Structure 1
Amino acid sequence: MPQINDFKSIVLNNTPLIDVRAPVEFEKGAFNNAINLLLMNDKERHLVGIRYKEKGNSEAIKLGHELVFGTKKDDRIKSWLDFIETNPNAMLYCFRGGQRSKISQEWIREAGYNITRLKGGYKAFRNYLLTQLEESPNHFKPIILGGRTGSGKTILLKKIQNSVDLEGLANHRGSSFGRKLTPQPSQINFENNLAYDIIKKLDIGFKHLVFEDEGKNIGSAYMPNSLAKYLLTAPLVILETSMKERIDTTFNEYVTDAQKMYADGGFVDALGVWRDDILSAMSRIKKRIGSERYLHVTTIFEKAYNEQIRSTTLDAHKEWVEYLLVEYYDPMYDYQILKRSEKVKFRGSSEEVFAYLALFE
């Protein structure tokens, strides 16, 4: 029955994938465009694993067939066929491309459909993606887009075809105030998604890739060591924006958009949950800004919050946003840029930086 190990084509074609592993395995890490339609659930897999250790492979397979039969078997086959009906180019995999994917493929064939499975399964595809990440520095030159908080780096980055959006891939805004309601991907998924993105960009033919100025960690996700070290060698392009624009951008992100996010999230007291989240973020930076500044910014915040409750207007929040920019973010930025001043190759407005970076597409 057909197998494939042309993993690059799977990435470039966004091939839909059926992951027949147990949910506990899928949750640890999977691939773009993969759906978990299991052959065995967690309990069944556990029991089969015990039988394998005690009595060997043939007895383990026998137990698997005893556990997954009748209506249970029919329902699992139907879930595969339903997916294949809407995704006729789908492929399937298990952990090593062994018994589980072979059995699933055979049952699908018996039902009148053909499907290709990944040779070597999850493990082989995962190793391919890790190798591509490890070797990617040999195939492109990096450019780092820097700028003060609120300068609109992410907005500009999305307009650049040869950019890699680390914050988007990590589902995090890259700061103490960067929490989103949806969880960050597992480290494995972050690496897989990053590899997908870089493989696609390099296949287009880009010789330069643009990254936002981030540390190695983006929330709980972190870049592989080889790539993180390589980005440290990159030239810096600095986006310069007026304070008013920076306040507006940060205000929209931390206040307007964030409050909408909580409201859309179905919280009974969405505004109160947002308030607690902002105060929690402020407490996390207390040691960095000192007790006096912490007390001042929380006082400003509470005043603005109470004003919003009273009048429903949001403008008062701009005061604490500006205070954070001036007293917290800017000093950190100035210190970091000073250490890397020799790497700064260009400074300019959004239009000027966009035009400059276009030279490297």
Structure 2
Amino acid sequence: MNDTTDYLTILRDTTPLIDVRAPVEFQQGALPGAINLPLMNDSERAAVGTCYKKAGPEAALRLGHQLVQGELREQRMQAWLQACAQNPRGYLCCARGGQRSHIVQQWLRERGVDYPLVTGGYKILRQAAIEAIHQRLQRPLLLIGGCTGSGKTLLVASRRNGIDLEGLARHRGSSFGRTLQAQLSQASFENQLAAALLKTSPTFWLLEDEGHAIGANHLPAILRERMAQSPLAVVEEPFEQRLERLRNDYFLQMSQAFIQRDGEEAGWQAYAEYLRHGLFAIRRRLGLQRFAQLSAHQEEALIQQQRTGNTSAHFAWLVPLLEEYYDPMYRYQLEKRAKDIIFRGNFDETAAWLAAQNNQQ
């Protein structure tokens, strides 16, 4: 099997990668299709790096072989062999396509497995991702705006040309936006974005109107620039519809998800802390007195939900939070973009309008 330089295909197809870099490197940035099966763990890699600086490459290589031998080498070997069997069309990958991936490739070959590697490694794949984002975002963008609970993410995710930035970021974008999945590093988020942009070639991209950051992940500068210049369709849902959507997303689904993950008691505590943290994060903007009032309503609602399963009491704090904080904030931001608005309608009207835009292409 041949080593590869087809970097865009690897990104586009979420090609399986056996990434043999140390865990700390993998956490700093990885490709969507990668699994981390390191040749050396973090401490081993640090020791080899120190040796390299003090005694040169040959001494560092000898130390690496001394650290990864015997039973430890066999354990890692078995993990690589299993991954190769499960991903027959994958590739080995290290930082620069250098010694680590070549060593693992040679060890696999000695065991009868011929497995290719990515020439240039993660560094060149990362560069390809950055370039792909710049290139693909030259196409026109259309943004979907609207107040919290309007169904913007649903509209974007349901379209072939939609790029669900919140899904890629594993965050809904507000102080209550945390999901059960931890957010990726900034580099990994951008790599995910590049992969999504490469999967299709529409006439225009459909994106949700976002701020500069979604949780801990920042939108790339080129994306922020393009979004600031793009037209906007605004979803204007009735308030009651928005409340029901938020009830389902934040109270019903999130409580069930935490309990399914952690068990009844621990899951409920994690869900309650999630809601408390969301309100606490904006306490200064609310004012401490208003925060205390809404927190009291939140605690009462949690007690009622836990006892009866009824989530309606949450509206006692959610409604004022929307009316006094989130809605005025978004409408103020929207006023600054008034010249860019090309459509307004409820969820169904916006969905029909978007379908017509796609049909015209």
Matched, 1:330 2:296: no
- Per the TM alignment, residue 3 of structure 1 is displaced from its structure 2 partner at its CA by 2.2
**Contact kept? 2:126, 2:191, Cα under 8 Å:** yes
Shift of the 269–78 alpha-carbon distance from structure 1 to 2, 3 Å rule, reads closer
Matched, 1:289 2:286: yes
**Contact kept? 1:160, 1:354, Cα under 8 Å:** no
Q: What corresponds to 1:91 in structure 2?
A: 91
Shift of the 67–280 alpha-carbon distance from structure 1 to 2, 3 Å rule, reads closer
Shift of the 214–80 alpha-carbon distance from structure 1 to 2, 3 Å rule, reads same
Residue by residue, what CA displacement relative to the aligned partner does 1:277-336 show, whole Å, maximum 9, x if unpaired? 323322222232334433432233233233335544222222322222212111112111
Query: How many Å separate the matches in 1 of 2:70 and 2:268?
Result: 50
**Contact kept? 2:13, 2:199, Cα under 8 Å:** no
Tell me the TM-score normalised to structure 2 length: 0.93
Shift of the 100–355 alpha-carbon distance from structure 1 to 2, 3 Å rule, reads same
Q: What corresponds to 2:211 in structure 1?
A: 215
Q: What corresponds to 2:189 in structure 1?
A: 190
Matched residue type, 1:282: L
Residue by residue, what CA displacement relative to the aligned partner does 1:198-239 show, whole Å, maximum 9, x if unpaired? 1213xxx20200111110100000111111111111100011
Matched residue type, 1:16: P
Q: What corresponds to 2:11 in structure 1?
A: 11
Q: What corresponds to 1:160 in structure 2?
A: 159
Matched, 1:247 2:247: no
- Per the TM alignment, residue 72 of structure 1 is displaced from its structure 2 partner at its CA by 2.2
- With 260-269 and 56-65 compared, the bigger mean Cα shift is at 260-269
- With 292-301 and 116-125 compared, the bigger mean Cα shift is at 292-301
The alignment partner of 1:3 has SS state of coil
Query: How many Å separate the matches in 2 of 1:22 and 1:160?
Result: 38
- Per the TM alignment, residue 349 of structure 1 is displaced from its structure 2 partner at its CA by 2.3
Residue by residue, what CA displacement relative to the aligned partner does 1:147-199 show, whole Å, maximum 9, x if unpaired? 11111111222211111101101101110111223211111110110111112
Matched residue type, 2:227: L
Shift of the 70–255 alpha-carbon distance from structure 1 to 2, 3 Å rule, reads same
**Contact kept? 2:12, 2:196, Cα under 8 Å:** no
The alignment partner of 1:176 has SS state of coil
Query: How many Å separate the matches in 2 of 1:73 and 1:37?
Result: 12
Q: What corresponds to 2:258 in structure 1?
A: 262
Unpaired runs of at least 5, structure 1: none
- Per the TM alignment, residue 98 of structure 1 is displaced from its structure 2 partner at its CA by 0.7
Tell me the matched-pair count. 357
Matched, 1:78 2:75: no
- With 277-286 and 2-11 compared, the bigger mean Cα shift is at 277-286
**Contact kept? 2:247, 2:311, Cα under 8 Å:** no
The alignment partner of 2:117 has SS state of strand
Residue by residue, what CA displacement relative to the aligned partner does 1:123-162 show, whole Å, maximum 9, x if unpaired? 1111111121233332x11110001111111122221111
Unpaired runs of at least 5, structure 2: none
The alignment partner of 1:104 has SS state of helix
Query: How many Å separate the matches in 2 of 1:262 and 1:343?
Result: 40
Q: What corresponds to 2:142 in structure 1?
A: 143
**Contact kept? 2:170, 2:182, Cα under 8 Å:** yes
Query: How many Å separate the matches in 1 of 2:284 and 2:48?
Result: 51
Query: How many Å separate the matches in 1 of 2:127 and 2:350?
Result: 37
The alignment partner of 2:342 has SS state of strand
- With 295-304 and 205-214 compared, the bigger mean Cα shift is at 295-304
Shift of the 296–63 alpha-carbon distance from structure 1 to 2, 3 Å rule, reads closer
Query: How many Å separate the matches in 2 of 1:340 and 1:184?
Result: 29
- Per the TM alignment, residue 24 of structure 1 is displaced from its structure 2 partner at its CA by 1.7
- Per the TM alignment, residue 353 of structure 1 is displaced from its structure 2 partner at its CA by 1.4
**Contact kept? 2:156, 2:208, Cα under 8 Å:** yes
- With 38-47 and 231-240 compared, the bigger mean Cα shift is at 38-47
Shift of the 59–320 alpha-carbon distance from structure 1 to 2, 3 Å rule, reads same
Shift of the 70–290 alpha-carbon distance from structure 1 to 2, 3 Å rule, reads closer
**Contact kept? 1:262, 1:273, Cα under 8 Å:** yes
CA RMSD, 1 decimal = 1.8
Q: What's the % identity of the aligned pairs? A: 40
The alignment partner of 2:92 has SS state of strand
Matched, 1:26 2:26: yes
Q: What corresponds to 1:353 in structure 2?
A: 350
**Contact kept? 1:144, 1:231, Cα under 8 Å:** yes
Shift of the 70–291 alpha-carbon distance from structure 1 to 2, 3 Å rule, reads closer
